[in-house]
Structure 1
Amino acid sequence: MIILGATPIGNLGDASGRLREALATVPVIAAEDTRTTRQLLRALGIEAQPQLVALHEHNEEAASPALVDRAREGDVLVLTDAGMPTVSDPGFRLVQAAVEAGVEVTCLPGPSAVLTALALSGLPTDRFAFDGFLPRKAGERDRMLAAIAREERTVVLFEAPHRLAESVEAIDRAMPGRRIAVARELTKRFEEVRRGTAAELLDWARAGVKGEIVIVVEGAAPVLADLDAAVEQVLRLKQGGMRLKDAAAEVAEATGHPRNALYQAALTNPPA
């Protein structure tokens, strides 16, 4: 079968017992970087010497058929440099080829930068989306952030440390006041999570940040499809004794409609 193995994202202690067993017994490992895999074997004290086959973004499509054939004869363990294969890493095309060929695929769960950053962010975790790396080109990045600004789920992103400051600044432009969390060096000695609005974190980002970076962005407040329904909510709160200004602010926060628009609409449309 094809076995997807989650590898430590920083702390070697996070290597699961199942991963260690697979490393010690599988005949073939498809590795994003064979040098990194050799280092992992040495660091974990694994003396086995499986055949290492390169499987990276540049050769995955071409290499997948042969690996699927190998998996018919014995297990093939798939490893990326850190974390879960297929998640913003090589492995998806191989899994797709295996599924189409009727070859079994299983997974050895383990470390994930996406889930670790999400859990530490302090932002809602009940609904979230992972959008991978932000585009390098400013125009493409801004278009992506404009779409994220409308997303109601928490969004998890990857970013390179040398682009963090410009990305945080772009987030501030696209969604001012939105809360974010920036996590770096997760599970490592210098793990750090900064929380606040993009504007509040911009000076820190500009000062220079090293390490692997994950950005978690708060989802947009849900917007009612019907503005009239939101205005009705404001009027009901006012009838209940709340000041109109406060009622408009509360409904604006709950629905995403602009506070001033709700206030003016309620002034001009008093209850019957």
Structure 2
Amino acid sequence: MIILAATPIGNLGDASRRLVDALESTAVIAAEDTRTTQRLLAALGVVNRPRLIALHDHNEKERAPELVELARNEDVLVLSDAGMPTVSDPGYGLVAAAAAAGVAVTAIPGPSAVLTALALSGLPTDRFTFEGFAPRKQGERTTWLRALAAEPRTMVFFEAPTRVAVTLADMAAAFGDERRAALCRELTKLHEEIARGTLAELVAWADGGVRGEVVVVVGGAEPRGVAFPDAVTQVLELVRSGTRLKEAAAEVSAHTGHSSRELYQAALAVRG
């Protein structure tokens, strides 16, 4: 089978017993960076010397069929450089190919930068969305963030330390200076740090530079107080202008906080 295994995001002490046992016994490991995996094996005192196959963003499409065929007869352990494979890391294409081919896929759960940052942020955790890395180009990033401005759920982002100050400034412009946020750096490591405050405060905090691995957590937008009947009317107006009902309900839901499903059903009933 295919085994997705979570590796430490910083502190080696977070390596689970199951992970170490798998590293000791598996004959084939598909790794995002084989050099990183070799260092992990050495750091954990693993004496097993498995076959290492590179599996990264640039070769996953071509490599997936080979790994799926291998997994029909033996276990293939899949590792990213840190955290859980497939979450902003290679693995999704492999899992999809395995599922289509009827090859079993399981996981050895463990560290996750997304969930660790969310838990430490002090922001609502009941509903959240993971948005990954912001676009690098200024114009694309601005458009992308504006589209998220009305998102009611807590949002989790990854960002490079060299770009985080600019991205925070763009977030403040798109979401508003007073939106609550948290910047989490070097999670589980010796110099772990969590900075909490408004986006404006975090922009000032990051102005002197930020080092290490970074996760940014931003609070969701407050509902704008649009009554449900008025929201349904907005959905119908979008439909009349050519938007499909499902997309119209989702769009109005994003900026009113009303359930997309309830808006869809109510608009459908009005339309008859």
TM category (shorter chain) comes to 0.7 to 0.9
1:97 is aligned with what amino acid?
A: A
Q: Which has the larger radius of gyration?
A: 1
Separation in structure 2 between the aligned mates of residue 114 and residue 12 of structure 1, nearest angstrom: 18
Q: Which residue number in structure 2 is paired with residue 183 of structure 1?
A: 184
Separation in structure 1 between the aligned mates of residue 110 and residue 229 of structure 2, nearest angstrom: 48
Q: CA deviation at 1:223?
A: 2.9
In the alignment of these two chains, the number of paired residues is 232
Separation in structure 1 between the aligned mates of residue 204 and residue 172 of structure 2, nearest angstrom: 12
Distance 1:30 1:228, change over 3 A: closer
Q: Which residue number in structure 2 is paired with residue 79 of structure 1?
A: 79
Q: CA deviation at 1:225?
A: 3.7
Note if 1:122 corresponds to 2:157: no
Separation in structure 2 between the aligned mates of residue 28 and residue 56 of structure 1, nearest angstrom: 16
Q: CA deviation at 1:156?
A: 0.2
Gaps of 5+ in 2: 232-255, 258-272
Aligned identity (percent) is 63
What does the per-residue CA deviation read over 1:108-149, in whole Å, with 9 as the maximum and x for residues that have no partner? 000000000000000000000001101101111111111221
Q: How does 1:108-257 map to 2 (within 5 A)?
A: 108-176=108-176, 177-226=178-227
Separation in structure 1 between the aligned mates of residue 81 and residue 22 of structure 2, nearest angstrom: 16
What does the per-residue CA deviation read over 1:167-222, in whole Å, with 9 as the maximum and x for residues that have no partner? 11111111111001000000000000100111111122110110011000100112
**SS of corresponding position for 1:161:** coil
**SS of corresponding position for 1:131:** strand
Q: How high is the TM-score relative to the length of structure 1?
A: 0.83
Q: How does 1:93-108 map to 2 (within 5 A)?
A: 93-108=93-108
Gaps of 5+ in 1: 231-254, 257-272
Separation in structure 1 between the aligned mates of residue 135 and residue 155 of structure 2, nearest angstrom: 15
Separation in structure 1 between the aligned mates of residue 175 and residue 140 of structure 2, nearest angstrom: 16
Separation in structure 2 between the aligned mates of residue 222 and residue 131 of structure 1, nearest angstrom: 20
Distance 1:21 1:221, change over 3 A: same
What does the per-residue CA deviation read over 1:75-115, in whole Å, with 9 as the maximum and x for residues that have no partner? 00000000000000000000000000000000000000000
Separation in structure 1 between the aligned mates of residue 123 and residue 144 of structure 2, nearest angstrom: 20
What does the per-residue CA deviation read over 1:210-254, in whole Å, with 9 as the maximum and x for residues that have no partner? 001100010011234438989xxxxxxxxxxxxxxxxxxxxxxxx
Separation in structure 2 between the aligned mates of residue 175 and residue 94 of structure 1, nearest angstrom: 36
Separation in structure 2 between the aligned mates of residue 83 and residue 120 of structure 1, nearest angstrom: 17
Separation in structure 2 between the aligned mates of residue 56 and residue 206 of structure 1, nearest angstrom: 33
Structure 1 residue ranges, 4+ long, deviating more than 6 angstroms after superposition: 227-230
Q: Which residue number in structure 2 is paired with residue 248 of structure 1?
A: none
Separation in structure 1 between the aligned mates of residue 24 and residue 160 of structure 2, nearest angstrom: 33
Q: How high is the TM-score relative to the length of structure 2?
A: 0.83
Please provide the CA RMSD for this pair.
Answer: 1.5
